[in-house]
Amino acid sequence: MAIFIGGNNDGNLYNIRNSGTLPEYRRYEYGNFLELRGMHIKLIDKVYRNLQNIYSDSNIKNVNYFRLRHGFNAFQFALQCHDGLDAILQLTKSIEALVNAREKNKFAEGCLKILNYFKFPKEYSESQIKEIYTLRGQSVHFHLENIVKKDSYEEKLKVIIKRAFIISKFIYQQLLQNEDEFKKFVNSKGISLF
């Protein structure tokens, strides 16, 4: 467990304003959120500044970046999940925040649009995207009998979660590395693109 202490340092006077514990994160075997090498180190500053903007008090107060902020929160919550079904709920929510989706077909259509827009290097079929939403629905509504009885349940679950993780990670990386792109989500009009 990691403990943090926050505040400021005024010469010899330390003002502690807050403290707490950092949440435990599940280490996914699918990779890191952002991998930086050599010249890419400058991306840390971009991502940091963009996150600062999204989570600024004024943007929260004015309900700016609501969907982007809550989608990114869901992605982070997914990293904390120890149960695959909880993770798929959060990962799906993180994608839903950025696409105009209220059902499986719209989710798949919007997801494919945003992946194509950002030139996603992998090729996922519409049916593979729909599997993510289907598993999410089965988990939300506790209709797991269709997948729990199968011998390959754990493997199938891992494959779908990995796919959702890769997609969500890719989308948020693209948005947080490019201010012009994430600014499209200052309000809900941004999702109309996808």
Measure Cα distances from 42 to 141, 180, 188 in Å.
43, 17, 29
Tally of domains within the chain:
1
| pLDDT digit string, tens, across residues 6-19 | 676 666 666 677 77
| pLDDT digit string, tens, across residues 37-96 | 555 667 777 888 888 999 999 999 999 999 999 999 999 888 888 788 888 899 999 999
Is 19 within the bounds of a domain? no
* Residue 166 clears pLDDT 80, i.e. is over it: yes
In angstroms, the CA 156 to CA 158 distance is 5
CB 147 within 8 A of CB 157: yes
Is 96 within the bounds of a domain? yes
Is 5 within the bounds of a domain? no
Is 87 within the bounds of a domain? yes
Residue from 193, 194, 192, 122 nearest 162 by CA:
122
Is 16 within the bounds of a domain? no
Q: Which of 26-35, 112-121, 143-152, 169-178 has the lowest mean pLDDT?
A: 26-35
Tokens for 99, please give them: 């696409």
- Per-residue pLDDT, 73: 94
Is 37 within the bounds of a domain? yes
In angstroms, the CA 49 to CA 46 distance is 5
Instruction: Calculate the average pLDDT of the chain.
Output: 81
Give me the phi and psi of 45, to 5 degrees please: -65, -45
Tokens for 104, please give them: 């499986």
In angstroms, the CA 176 to CA 193 distance is 17
- Per-residue pLDDT, 112: 92
Is 22 within the bounds of a domain? no
- Per-residue pLDDT, 167: 93
Determine the structural domain holding residue 171 and report its residue range: 33-193
Is 154 within the bounds of a domain? yes
**Please, which pLDDT band fits residue 134 given cuts at 50, 70 and 90?**
confident
- Per-residue pLDDT, 58: 94
- Per-residue pLDDT, 127: 87
